[in-house]
Amino acid sequence: MCSLALFPPPLPSGQITLYETNNEFVSGKSPNYYEKQITQHWDPPSLCFHRETLKPHSRPESSSKAAFLDHKDTLWMRSAGAWRDAGLSGLLDEITNSAGKVPKWLTMSSGCILALLRWMSSFHGSLFPHLTLSGEEMVAEFSEVLDWLDSAVRSFAWHPHTDKFAVALLDDSIKIYNSRSATAPTLKHRLQRSVSAMQWKPLCASVLAVACHTCMLIWHVDPNSLSTRPSSGCAQVLSHPGHSPVTSIAWSPSGSLLVSASPVDTAMMVWDVAAEICVPLQRVGGGGVTNLSWSPDGSRLWAATPSALFRVWETKMWTCERWPCLRGRCQAGCWSPDGSRLLFSVQGETVIYALTFSHMTGGPKSAAVVADLSETTFTGLDSDLRVGGEVQSLAWDPTGERLAVLLKGNAEISSHPAIIAVFKTRSSPIFELLPCGFVRGEVGAEPRLIQFHSHFQHGALLTVCWSNGRISHVPFYFVSMGRPHSGGSPPLPHFTSKTEDYSTLTLYTEQVS
Amino acid sequence: MFSVSQNCWFIRKVVTWRAVASIAWSVLLLPVTTTLFVFLVRLSLFHPVQWIAECFALLTAPSTIFPLFLLSGVVLVIGFFNLKYYTVVPSIPCSRVALLAKLLHPRQCVHSLVHCAVGMVVMWCASVIAGVRYRTLSSPCTGSESGSVPETCLNEYHLFFLLAGAFMGYSHSFLGVVQNMNYVSFQIILQYKYMRFKGSLASVVKCGALQSLHSVRNYVALYYFFGHLPRAWILNMLNLQMDSALCSLDSLAGLLDPSLLYHLWISGTFLLLTWYITVLLFRIYVTEPYRFPVQSTFAEDTDQCLPKVLTEKDVLVMKFLALQDLALLARYSPSCRQEVFSLSQPGGHPHNWNAISKECLALLGELTQRLVAHHDTVASNGRAKRPSVSSDARSVSSGNSVMSGAEDLLQTPHPSSIIKTPGSVFKSSMMGLSSPMTVPFTPDLESPFSSPAVRRLAGHQVPPSPWYGSVQSPHVMRRGPKLWSTSTDSQANGSPPPTPAPTPSTLRPEQKSSFLAQWLQNRKEQVKSFLTKRVMIAYLFNKLPEASSQALFADSQAHIWALEGLSHLVAASFSEDKYGVVQTTLPSILSCMLTLQEAVDRHFKLPHASSKPVKTTCSMGDATYKTLRFALRAALKTAIYRITSTFGEHLNAVCISVEHQKRLQQFMEYRE
C-alpha cells in the first residue's frame, strides 16, 4: 500500500510544478511556462480570475424584503404574496405576525401550526443535519471544490471530445474557451445562481448542463456562433419540485441521459433532457444524494449520500447496491477508465478505498484500502511541511495512469496547506498506486479544484484551479500502455534554459520509437 | 386493426398474457384499495376506537364480499378495454373539429357508455360500503305524519352517488381522449416492474385525488342545475316520493354538506384509483422489454426472430418492442451483436445485418420523406398543390377531391388506394408504421395507420433508385413528383381537408378534367373564404399550434430506437465485426442519417416546431409524445456523433456525396 511518506518531498515554496516528464516533475519559478511549448497543439489558456474583480451575486434576503413591500397592502394581498414566495410556512408566518387585523383564533391557530411545522422540520433536521443548512452552505458542504463559497472559480468542465472548457465564476457567469475561436462566450441567466457543477454532454458539441441553485440549465452553445453573449433563450430550464439545490450532475457516457442529485431530495432524477422527461429513482435511506459519478463505460453510477452510505447503481435495469461506510459520508469518488474500479474516500478517514467490479463475479464484497494518506511531515530547508489528511476530491486521468488527489489540509495551520498528490496507477498484475509527486502552485495559492483533460494526446493534462483565481494546466508526459501510440514520440517541451532536460529527453524518445 | 393483428403470434402469446397478468395484479390489489377506502370513508376523528372497530367489522362482514366481486368484474372490464384501446402511436388531432370527431366516433361512444355504466357500478359498491345513509335507493319516509302507511321515499343520496359514478366514468373516458390516455409510452430507462410500480404509485394516487376533486366540483355544479331532471324521472319510474323532511340535493343547502362532499370525493378517488392502477399496471406490463432471438436454429421459429419481426407492419407494439430490443442488444449484448454480424451458413451472406439495417434505414428514410413533404406544403404557404402543377398523374382524379375530403371526414379510408409498388424500398415501412398524422384529421380510429395520404405517398413517390446507396438530399427529392401531403394549413382556412383522390395511379393527363379541377379549386377557395368568416367554424377548424409538428413525430420512438440501435451496432462493428459486413452499408447509413438531419433541421425552423409544449399538471395521460421531436433531434445528433467519434479519420475513406462529406467533417470537428 502506498503512503505519502514514499513520495518525493514537495517543492520548496516559490517553486511551481510545471510538468512531468521522465517520471519526474519539472519545476520553475514562473507560471508562464506553457506558452513557449508545443505549437501544433492547442495551448489551453492559463487564465486568472481575481477574486476581487468578481462581484458575487447579492441575494435579496427574506428579512430585508419586507422593507420594500408596501405595507398598505391588504392582508389578503400580503398573504397571497407570502404564499407565493415562501409557501405554507410563509403564509402562516404572515398571519401570525399580523395580529390585530385578523381574528384572534386565526392568529393562535396559525401560530400553533407554525410551531408544529418547525418542530417537525427540526426533528427531521436532527435526523439529517444537512437539511438545516441553507442552499449555499449545502452546496459548499458537498461540493468537490475546496472552500466553494469563497472560490473565484466555482466549477470547471472540459469538453469530453474537443479542446474546449467552461469555467463557472463567483459572479454566476460561465465562460467558454475554445481552441478554435478567439471569442469566449459568457453565459448568464436569471436562474443561473451558485453554480455547483457543470458537465458537457458526451457525443455532442454544444450542450452544457449546469447545476444551479434552484434548477438545472441546459445551455446550447453553438460552436459556430460568434456571439459573446448567447441569449438566455439558448438555455433550457429543468426543474422538479423539491429537487434543489442540485449539487451534482452526471451525463451518461452514451449521451442519452442526465442524472441529477440534490442533498434535500432522496430521489435522484434521471432526465431525458431533450424531451424534458424525468424519472425519479428513490431508495430508502441516506437522506439525499450529494455526488454522482458515471463510470466511463456507462455501466455503473456511483451516488453518495449525506449519511454514511453510498450506492452503486447498475445502469441497465437501475438496481443498486448499498455500501454503508463506517466513519462518515463518502466525500469523493472516481472511476477507472474501464469502469471496473471505483476509488473513493470517506470523510474522517485518511485512506483511499477501492472497489473492483467485474462482469464475472458480480460485485465486490468489501472495499480494499489502496492508499494511506495520513499526515506526513517533510522537513524542508526553511520550514517543515505537513502533508496529508482528508481527501477533498479525486481525479483519474482518462488513460488510467495518473490519479490526482486533492488533500484538504488544515486551513488554520500554515504549514499544513491543501495540496495535490499525484499517484501513478498500475492495474496489472495487481492494482497498485505508486507515488509520483506533489503539484505545487504559486506562493499563497492553494488548489481548489482539479480535473483531467479528457483526451490529451501525450499523456495526461491536469487542470488546477487555485485560490488566487488562476487556472493552470499541468501536463504529464508519458506513453500510455493502453493507448496505441501512432504519432511517434510525444512532443516534449523545449526549454532552452534547461539543457539537462535534453539529454534525458533524447534517450527517452529513442526508447519509445 | 385488431382483427388483423389478432392472429399474430405475438399478440396471442405475449401481449394477451401480459394483459392478463396486469389485470390479475389489479384484482389482487383491489382488497388493499378497498380497505383503504373503507378506513377513509368511515373516518371519524373523534371516536377512533369505534372507527377502527367498525371498519374491521365491515371488512369481515359477508355483505362486503359481493361488492368486492363486483369490483373485480369492473377491473376485468376496464382491463379488457385497456387492452383493446391502447396504442403505442398516439393519434393527434390537428384541429378542434378533429378532436370532436374523435370524441363522437362510435368506438369512442362505446367506450364512454361502458365507462358510464361501470362507473355507476363502482359507485354503487362505494355507496354500499360508505354507510347507511347512501345504501339504498328507496327508504321509508321520515316526514310522513300518518304512521299507519309507511310510504317509500327516494333516497336522493344514493341517486346522487350513482349519477356521480356515471359522470366520473364519462369524464374519465372523455379525458382519456383529450389527454391520449390510451397512449402507452416507453420509459426512458428500464426498471423492474415492481420498482416502476412503486415509483409511480405516489403520483398515481395524487393524480386520482386531484382528478376526483375536479370531477366532484364539476359534478356538483352540474347537479345543482340539472339534478332535478334525472330525479323526476326516477321518481316517476319507480313511483317513489320525495322526502319532504330532507332538503333536496339540487339546492345550495343540500349540496354544501361537508360530509357528503367528502364521501363523494373519497369515493371518486377510489373509483379513479382502481382504474388508474389497472391502466398503470397494463402500461408497465406491455412496455416490458421482450427478447427476440436474432436467429433461430429451427425453421419454424424464423418469424419470431428479430430481422423478421422488425419488418412487421400491422402489430405496432411488436415492432416497437423489436426496435427496443434492437437498441438494447446493440448496446449491452456483445454475443447478440456477434450474431448480427455473423454470416449465414452456407452461403456466407450477412442476412441478419442486411435485414436489420435495411429495415432501420427504411424507417428513417420514411421519416425524412414525411418531413420533406410536410415542409414542402408549409413552404407553399399551405395551399394544396395545384394538381396540374404537382403531377399529371393526379389531374384526372382530382375532380372528386372535395368529395373524398368529405369522405375523409366520415372516416372512411379507401382500401383501394393501396398501391403495391414492387421495388419500393419504402413500401413496407410506409404501409406499416406510417404517420397517423399525415392526414390532418386523423379520423380513423380503427386503423389510424392507413391514411389515404400516406398510402398515396407510398404508392406514388417511388424514388428513382433504392434509397440507400444513392445520394439524395431533400432538395433532390423535392424535384421529384410533388405530392399532396399534410396540408396542415389548409384547415386553418376552415375548409374540409382538400384530400385529392385516392387513386392516383392512372396516368392520363386530360385537358378537360384539368379545367374542371381548376373550377373546383376556385369554388373551394370561395367556400373556404366564406366559412372562415364564421367565428365558430374558424374556432373549430383552426389548426392547433404545434399539433402538426407533434403529429409528424408521433411515432418517433421507433426512429429513436432505430437510430440508437444502428449507431451502437456501427460503433461496435469498429472492433467486433470480423467480416466487415457493416462497412458495406456504412455509406448508406451515413447518408441516410445526414439527410434526415438536414430534414429535421429544416423542420425545426418552421414556426411552432421548436416551441416547447406547456407542462401539463398531474394527469394520467402520457404527454411523452409532445416532446418526441426534440428527443429525436437529440438522438439523431448523438447517433451521428457516436459513429464519427468511433471511426474518426477513417470516415474520410467512406464513399458519400461531397455535400454529406462536408457535413460529416463538421461532425468530426465537433462543430454541429
Q: What is the pLDDT of residues A435-464, one digit of tens each?
A: 999 998 888 888 999 999 998 888 899 999
Grade residue A58 by pLDDT with cuts at 50, 70 and 90: low
Nearest chain A residue to B288, by CA: A317
When computed from its CA atoms, the radius of gyration of chain A, rounded to whole angstroms, is: 25
Nearest Cα neighbor of B492 from B445, B458, B537 is B537
Q: Which of B187, B190, B633 sits opposite A274 (nearest CB)?
A: B633
**Shared-domain flag, residues A36 and A125:** no
Burial of residue B290 (CB within 10 Å: 0-12, 13-18, 19+) is middle
**Shared-domain flag, residues A339 and A467:** yes
* Structure confidence at residue A360 (pLDDT): 61
* Structure confidence at residue A482 (pLDDT): 59
Least confident stretch, A87-101, A219-233, A241-255, A472-486: A472-486
Rounded Cα–Cα distance for residues A347 and A336 (Å): 21
Q: What is the DSSP string of B355-392?
A: HHHHHHHHHHHHHHHHHHHHHHHHHTTTPPPPHHHH-H
**Per residue in A397-447, pLDDT tens?**
999 899 999 999 888 888 888 999 999 998 877 888 999 999 988 888 889
Cross-chain residue pair A275–B191, CB shorter than 8 Å:
no
Q: Which of B332, B633, B672 sits opposite A316 (nearest CB)?
A: B332
d(CA A221, nearest CA chain B) in Å: 10
Q: Could you tell me if residue A173 is inside a domain? A: no
Nearest Cα neighbor of B96 from B440, B452, B444 is B440
**Shared-domain flag, residues A4 and A117:** no
On whether any CB of chain A is under 8 Å from the CB of B624, the answer is: yes
Distances (CA, A) of A472 to A143, A146, A419, A492, B464: 20, 16, 14, 18, 58
On whether any CB of chain A is under 8 Å from the CB of B663, the answer is: no
Cross-chain residue pair A279–B189, CB shorter than 8 Å:
yes
C-alpha cell at B210: 386531484
Report yes or no: B108 and B181 within 8 Å, Cβ to Cβ: no
C-alpha cell at A243: 429537487
Q: Where are the alpha helices (DSSP H) in B227-257?
A: 228-238, 252-255
Among A118, A135, A152, the domain boundary falls at A135
Cross-chain residue pair A274–B190, CB shorter than 8 Å:
no
**Shared-domain flag, residues A382 and A436:** yes
Spell out which residues of chain B touch residue A205, defining contact as CB-CB under 8 Å: 641, 670-672
Q: Could you tell me if residue A467 is inside a domain? A: yes
C-alpha cell at B555: 411515432
Q: Which of B332, B631, B671 sits opposite A274 (nearest CB)?
A: B631
Note down the domain range covering A123.
Answer: 75-135
Mutation target for A interface from B186, B187, B188: give the one with most A CBs within 10 A. Answer: B188
Give SS3 for B205.
Answer: helix
d(CA B619, nearest CA chain A) in Å: 14
Residues (pLDDT < 50) of chain B are 1-2, 384-507
Rounded Cα–Cα distance for residues A84 and A231 (Å): 28
Q: Could you tell me if residue A356 is inside a domain? A: yes
Rounded to two decimals, the pTM is: 0.82
On whether any CB of chain A is under 8 Å from the CB of B201, the answer is: no
Q: How many CB atoms lie within 10 A of CB A233?
A: 8
**Shared-domain flag, residues A35 and A86:** no
Nearest Cα neighbor of A475 from A392, A387, A404, A394 is A404
List of residues 6+ apart from B442 with CB closer than 8 A: B91, B92, B93, B94, B98, B102, B436, B448, B451, B551
Cross-chain residue pair A276–B627, CB shorter than 8 Å:
yes
**Shared-domain flag, residues A7 and A98:** no
* Structure confidence at residue A89 (pLDDT): 78
Strand A368-372 vs strand A2-3: parallel, antiparallel, or unpaired?
parallel
* Structure confidence at residue A106 (pLDDT): 84
**How many domains is chain A built from?**
2
Phi, psi of B512 (to 5 degrees): -65, -50
Phi, psi of A408 (to 5 degrees): -65, -40
C-alpha cell at B9: 403470434
Nearest Cα neighbor of A94 from A56, A132, A124, A66 is A66
Spell out which residues of chain A touch residue B194, defining contact as CB-CB under 8 Å: none
Q: Could you tell me if residue A488 is inside a domain? A: no
Nearest Cα neighbor of A289 from A267, A313, A322, A257 is A267
Q: Could you tell me if residue A496 is inside a domain? A: no
* Structure confidence at residue A50 (pLDDT): 84
For B546, half-sphere exposure in the C-beta direction (CA atoms, 13 angstrom radius) is: 16
Spell out which residues of chain B touch residue A223, defining contact as CB-CB under 8 Å: 670-672
- How remote is the C-alpha of A490 from its chain's centroid? 30
Taking phi over 0 as left and psi of -120 to 50 as alpha, with beta for the rest, A276 belongs to left
Give SS3 for A387.
Answer: strand
Least confident stretch, A381-385, A482-486, B576-580: A482-486
User: Between A and B, how many residue pairs show a Cβ–Cβ distance under 8 A?
Assistant: 82
Q: Could you tell me if residue A370 is inside a domain? A: yes
On whether any CB of chain A is under 8 Å from the CB of B192, the answer is: yes
CA torsion through residues A498, A501, A503, A509, sign: negative
**Per residue in B26-53, pLDDT tens?**
999 999 999 999 999 888 888 889 999 9
Rounded Cα–Cα distance for residues B646 and B586 (Å): 13
Q: Could you tell me if residue A263 is inside a domain? A: no
* Structure confidence at residue B146 (pLDDT): 52
Q: Averaged over A79-92, what is the pLDDT? A: 77
Report yes or no: B626 and B554 within 8 Å, Cβ to Cβ: no
d(CA B166, nearest CA chain A) in Å: 34
**Shared-domain flag, residues A340 and A467:** yes
Nearest chain A residue to B627, by CA: A275
Spell out which residues of chain A touch residue B332, defining contact as CB-CB under 8 Å: 316
C-alpha cell at A19: 510538468
* Structure confidence at residue A71 (pLDDT): 61
**Shared-domain flag, residues A3 and A130:** no
CA torsion through residues B652, B657, B662, B663, sign: negative
Distances (CA, A) of A182 to A33, A35, B667: 21, 16, 20
Spell out which residues of chain A touch residue B624, defining contact as CB-CB under 8 Å: 275, 277
Decide if pLDDT at A12 tops 90. Answer: no
Distances (CA, A) of A199 to A273, A401, B251: 13, 23, 61
Nearest Cα neighbor of B635 from B558, B554, B548, B572 is B558
C-alpha cell at B188: 426512458
Nearest Cα neighbor of B75 from B273, B287, B284 is B273
On whether any CB of chain A is under 8 Å from the CB of B627, the answer is: yes
Cross-chain residue pair B641–A159, CB shorter than 8 Å:
no
Cis geometry, peptide bond prior to residue A245 (ω within 30 degrees of 0) = yes
Cross-chain residue pair B188–A282, CB shorter than 8 Å:
no
Rounded Cα–Cα distance for residues A407 and A392 (Å): 6
Cross-chain residue pair A256–B564, CB shorter than 8 Å:
yes
Nearest Cα neighbor of A263 from A123, A134, A130 is A130
Q: What is the DSSP string of B530-573?
A: HHHTSHHHHHHHSBPTTHHHHHHTTTHHHHHHHHHHHHHHHHHH
Q: Which of A159, A275, A316 sits opposite B628 (nearest CB)?
A: A275
Q: Which of A205, A272, A316 sits opposite B670 (nearest CB)?
A: A205
Nearest chain A residue to B615, by CA: A276
Cross-chain residue pair B195–A273, CB shorter than 8 Å:
no
CA torsion through residues A274, A275, A278, A279, sign: negative
Cross-chain residue pair B189–A223, CB shorter than 8 Å:
no
Phi, psi of A79 (to 5 degrees): -65, -40
CA torsion through residues B623, B628, B629, B634, sign: positive
Cross-chain residue pair B331–A254, CB shorter than 8 Å:
yes
* B328-B334-B336-B341 Cα dihedral, nearest 10 degrees: 110
Place of cell 462536408: B662
Cross-chain residue pair B671–A272, CB shorter than 8 Å:
no
Burial of residue B311 (CB within 10 Å: 0-12, 13-18, 19+) is middle
**Shared-domain flag, residues A18 and A112:** no
- How remote is the C-alpha of B197 from its chain's centroid? 21
Cross-chain residue pair A204–B612, CB shorter than 8 Å:
no
Report yes or no: A369 and A3 within 8 Å, Cβ to Cβ: no
Place of cell 474516500: A345
Place of cell 423539491: A242
d(CA B627, nearest CA chain A) in Å: 5
Cross-chain residue pair A203–B638, CB shorter than 8 Å:
yes
Portion of chain A with pLDDT greater than 70, in percent: 87
Q: Which of A205, A277, A279 sits opposite B672 (nearest CB)?
A: A205
Report yes or no: B359 and B310 within 8 Å, Cβ to Cβ: yes
Grade residue A20 by pLDDT with cuts at 50, 70 and 90: confident
**Shared-domain flag, residues A344 and A467:** yes
Mutation target for A interface from B203, B563, B617, B637: give the one with most A CBs within 10 A. Answer: B637
Decide if pLDDT at A82 tops 80. Answer: no
Rounded Cα–Cα distance for residues A27 and A11 (Å): 8
List of residues 6+ apart from B132 with CB closer than 8 A: none
Farthest CA pair distance, chain B = 104
Residue ranges with strand state E in A235-299: 235-238, 248-251, 258-261, 267-272, 277-282, 291-294
On whether any CB of chain A is under 8 Å from the CB of B331, the answer is: yes
List of residues 6+ apart from B43 with CB closer than 8 A: B51
Q: Could you tell me if residue A143 is inside a domain? A: no
Rounded Cα–Cα distance for residues B1 and B86 (Å): 12
Nearest chain B residue to A268, by CA: B199
Nearest chain A residue to B611, by CA: A233
Cis geometry, peptide bond prior to residue B607 (ω within 30 degrees of 0) = no
Rounded Cα–Cα distance for residues B289 and B143 (Å): 64
d(CA B623, nearest CA chain A) in Å: 9
Cross-chain residue pair B630–A254, CB shorter than 8 Å:
no
Report yes or no: B120 and B166 within 8 Å, Cβ to Cβ: yes
C-alpha cell at B363: 424507417
Rounded Cα–Cα distance for residues B431 and B426 (Å): 8
**Shared-domain flag, residues A338 and A442:** yes
Spell out which residues of chain B touch residue A265, defining contact as CB-CB under 8 Å: none
Nearest Cα neighbor of A237 from A246, A250, A226, A225 is A246
* Structure confidence at residue A32 (pLDDT): 59
C-alpha cell at A289: 444524494
Cross-chain residue pair A275–B195, CB shorter than 8 Å:
no
Q: Which of A205, A276, A317 sits opposite B192 (nearest CB)?
A: A317
In the chain, the amino acid numbered B398 is: S
d(CA B645, nearest CA chain A) in Å: 8
* Structure confidence at residue A498 (pLDDT): 37
Average pLDDT, chain A: 83
**Shared-domain flag, residues A37 and A79:** no
Q: Where are the alpha helices (DSSP H) in B227-315?
A: 228-238, 252-255, 258-286, 306-310
Least confident stretch, A12-21, A149-158, A252-261: A12-21
